[in-house]
Amino acid sequence: MKRRYVAFLIALLLLLCGCKQKTNKYGFDVVPVADTTKESSISEKTTTDGNVDVTTGDINSQREFMEYITQGAGMSDELEVDKTLVFIADASAILGVDPRIYERFNELLVNKYGCDFTVEFRGYNTSDAVNYQNEIRALQTSNEQVDVLITGGGTANVANTYDKAINDGLLEPLGSMLGTEYGKKLWSSYPEKIWMRVCRDGEYYGVLNMENGNGHPLILINSKYIKDESVVENIKTIEDVYAFIDSLGEIEEGIIPLVADLDSLYEFESGYTFYSCILGRENNGKWEAYFALEDEKYLSHIKKLREYGTAKGMSQSAAKTLGKFVVMIDSMPMSDYSGNSIRVKENAQSSEYYELEVYECASADGWYEYMSNMVIGIASWSHYKEEALQLLSLIASEPELSNLLAYGVENHHYTLNEDRIVYKEFDRSNGRLPNESLSLGNYMITNPSGLEPLDKISTYDSYKLKLGIASRYNVDLSEYNALKYKINSIYTNKDYANWLYKDNYMELLEGMRSKMKTEGIDELINEINRQLDEAQK
């Protein structure tokens, strides 16, 4: 067992260290481990003893439970309370994290908020979606204690862990609880659009705590290039952007005229993205899906982007990071855009950011979708459902608790300056900090860091977001997960990285198009259109 655990831990560390600290449209990446050299001294390594007879679904009849990492265990006796709740989270929020964070969390629960319980946090490798979902079902079948759980990230085999958890009866419906004291507090702690994302047939089964990547597309002009504000305030369309750039004449070397996210640019044309290279548009009042790499209008867009989106010695991503652009079209998260400035770096190696002044010319409607993964809910077989609701409600509504789970212990890991987070230097030998955008706290109520506004909920409510077409018409592609994975693997293959800005971009485009056709992208598009036609009758 020890050898198996070491192998698991090594594999998990490799997974965590290989991922980026960024969310993306296909799911959530996990945070790299900052310092795990003393992991054995700061977290307990545990496995549930024994085997379990399981007869439910496709779980093996004899199986061992998965290993997990713990934080905050064993504090009920110390704090003189009778109950311990078990909170299953992704290992990225637990592994190698400074244990003082979870110790302080339990102390606050009992001593400040009057709870009669503490929380044992257990970190699982949820990115192994099939095994993780089977694990949760096995825990349910064997009546092992779980009170709060995260559904985990999606994979090719289980693309939608939230709906699978609902269908498997793993999550307790929250509807009947939302009228209680703690239920009302929980409800009022999230914007309505967040609740919409976790709503299924009028019922709610969990909450979304991490940083929300939804924003609406913006046209931002680097203020350095604005000579007359009356000129740029009339820029509202993509064609206006091209005309403005042309009016500037020759632009200095190393500056990219237009940095643009393809999806954001497309949304300025009232378009919609179903999946990799599968776009949507309205045709005679009805939505339809089509293959972008065969569409003349889309191809004309990317040719224009190639014309305006290059500069010698500068990539699109570097230009965005360093502020080396004239115009940017993108959907900016709260932490990177304040309304009149964006966060950029002096150089690629720097860890420090500074503010670059920009002018917002226009915004388009963005989209928000039903949430598929990383939803946190109450385990349906918990014996402490009221306490679990209280726990979720306190995390959701108390900035002190959410700050703790996102930023660490105040005055040790960070301080507040005009209500903004300022990180401190601290001894990392005791463990790392959680990643603020992937923490277990409610991102919407934490104190702002970066360029985040003081009132994140009001800012999020101000975004021009519409329920996505796939969500609105409930397009279900769960039977096509393997095909979706193949298509996405082609699009994200390193051979095609930054394909648009390479000399042989048409050759690369044709290669992608041919491979996607061979794998069956038309089958996927036809199925989307079949479901859209049925829903729009």
Q: What is the CATH number of the domain that holds 254?
A: 3.40.190
Q: Are residues 124 and 230 in the same domain?
A: no
CATH of the domain at 18: 3.40.190.10
Same domain, 160 and 262: no
Residues spanned by the domain of 494: 217-364+473-537
Whether 479 and 357 share a structural domain: yes
In a shared domain, residues 78 and 198:
yes
Does residue 172 lie in a domain region? yes
Asked if residue 399 belongs to a domain, the reply is no
Question: Do 69 and 176 share a domain, yes or no?
Answer: yes
What CA–CA distance (Å, rounded) separates 530 from 527?
5
Looking at the structure, do residues 16 and 101 belong to the same domain, yes or no? yes
Co-location of 283 and 178 in the same domain:
no
Domain match, 237 and 181 both: no
Helix count and strand count (H, E) for the chain? 20, 24
223 and 176 in one domain?
A: no
- Calpha distance 132→125 (Å, rounded): 7
Q: For residue 440, is it within any domain?
A: no
- 188 and 231 assigned to the same domain: no
Is 146 inside a domain boundary?
yes
Q: Within a domain: residue 422?
A: no
- Separation CA 360–CA 227 (nearest Å): 15
**pLDDT attached to residue 66:** 82
Residues 374-414: tens digit of each pLDDT: 999 999 999 999 999 999 999 999 999 999 999 999 999 99
| pLDDT score for 32 | 28
Burial 15-31 (b: 16+ CB within 10 A, else e): bbeeeeeebeebbbbbb
Residue 481, judged by CB atoms within 10 A of its CB (0-12, 13-18, 19+), counts as middle
Q: Which residues of the chain have pLDDT under 50?
A: 1-62
Same domain, 206 and 230: no
> Which are the contacts of 299, defined by CB distance < 8 A and separation ≥ 6?
293
- d(CA 162, CA 166) in angstroms, rounded, equals 6
Q: Are residues 56 and 41 in the same domain?
A: yes
The pLDDT assigned to 262 comes to 85
pLDDT at 27 (0 to 100): 30
Strand runs (DSSP E) across 402-471, as ranges?
A: 414-417, 420-423, 465-467
Residue 408 within a domain: no
- Number of domains, the chain: 2
Phi/psi at 95 (5° precision) = -65, 120
**Inside any domain, residue 296:** yes
What torsion do the CA atoms of 359, 360, 362, 365 make, to the nearest 10 degrees? 160
Q: What is the pLDDT of residue 195?
A: 94
Give the whole-angstrom CA distance, residue 59 versus residue 132. 11
Asked if the structure places residue 18 within a domain, the reply is yes
The one-letter code for the residue type at 513 is R
Query: Residue for token digits 């307990």?
Result: 44
* Residue pLDDT, tens place only, 85-133: 999 999 989 999 999 999 999 999 999 999 999 999 999 999 888 899 9
